[in-house]
Amino acid sequence: MRRVVPHALLIVGALVMLYPLLWMAVMSLKPGGLPAPGFTVDNYVEGWTALGVDFGQFFVNSFVVSILAVAGNTVSCSMAAYAFARLRFRFRRLWFALMLASIMLPLHVLIIPQYTLFHRLGWVDTFLPLTVPKFLAVDGFFVFLMVQFIRGLPTELDDAARIDGCGPVQIYLRIVLPLMAPALVTTAIFTFIWTWDDFFSQLVYLSDVDRYTVPMALRAFLDSSGESSWGAMLAMATLALVPVLTFFLVFQRRITEGISTTGLKG
């Protein structure tokens, strides 16, 4: 009973959490997206072309933005974290404190000056405002995550590399970066999920339908002044979950891997 009761409670809690997703998947197969007898795939057929552009184009746009964001965060944040964790330079603690302070700033405080800057650069209605900043280590959370990760790695590995003639760049590329796999995968997973689900930033910078991402395309099914296509929206929302779930299931095991243990094994 000591095992049955906790597992039963966990199963009930899991069902409660999964109920909205299951309801959405079932309603996507109902005529009009409303409770009705029978099942149909018409919602998927209608939703795929309802906006005048194949929904596959929105998937491509989201993949482009998400993959570039993942690449930018993993590269730039790992470099910044290595500098804070291993290198010694002037005002290092001050810059690290300012980086941590940036985490506390809400996005809405920065959106107006950022939009002004990108508008002057001519980047509005392109993917550049959503991807280029990722290559500049702007996500302080991931920098902090990797700093803590690197600090858990034995410094003896760096000392041994210096004896062999490696400089800071070689130590980063040959020693630290391979041992950061768990942190890099964690950063990649959360960056992909947060970017794929991001609606506010994409709404601010994108206006052309051909450049819409999946969240913006889903919002287009809702019409505040007329009839909304609930069935088509639920069908496309169900498809939109597939990449996120697949990405997470493939890489989830790497999230909990031990930092120091991985370093010693390598």
The pLDDT of residue 93 = 92
Q: Are 171 and 179 in contact (CB under 8 A)?
A: no
Residue keyed to tokens 């997973």? 189
Phi, then psi, of 68 in degrees rounded to 5: -65, -40
Of the candidates 163, 140, 166, the one whose C-alpha atom is nearest the C-alpha of residue 73 is 140
Q: Are 48 and 54 in contact (CB under 8 A)?
A: yes
Tens of pLDDT, residue by residue over 82-102, are 999 999 999 999 999 999 898
Q: Which residues contact 217 (CB under 8 A, 6 or more apart)?
A: 51, 55, 58, 236
The pLDDT of residue 265 = 42
Tens of pLDDT, residue by residue over 146-192, are 998 898 888 898 999 999 889 999 999 999 999 888 889 889 888 99
Task: Report DSSP state, residue 167.
Answer: -
5-19, 30-44, 213-227: lowest mean pLDDT where? 213-227
**What is the Cα–Cα distance from 117 to 164, expressed in whole angstroms?**
46
Distances in Å between the Cα of 244 and the Cα atoms of 3, 151, 185, 197, 237 are: 32, 30, 14, 9, 12
CATH number at 19-265: 1.10.3720.10
Q: Which residues contact 7 (CB under 8 A, 6 or more apart)?
A: none
Q: Are 53 and 42 in contact (CB under 8 A)?
A: no
DSSP string, 47-103: HHHTTSS-HHHHHHHHHHHHHHHHHHHHHHHHHHHHHHHH---TTHHHHHHHHHHHH
Tens of pLDDT, residue by residue over 116-153, are 999 999 999 999 999 999 999 999 999 998 998 898 88
Encoded tokens for 121? 């650069």
Within 13 Å, how many C-alpha atoms sit on residue 96's CB side?
Answer: 20
User: Exposed e or buried b for every residue in 171-205, given b needs 16+ CB within 10 A?
Assistant: bbeebbbebbebbbbbbbbbbbbebbebeebbebb
**What three-state secondary structure class fits 261?**
helix
Ranges of each domain in the chain: 19-265
Q: Is the pLDDT of residue 264 over 50?
A: no
The pLDDT of residue 257 = 57
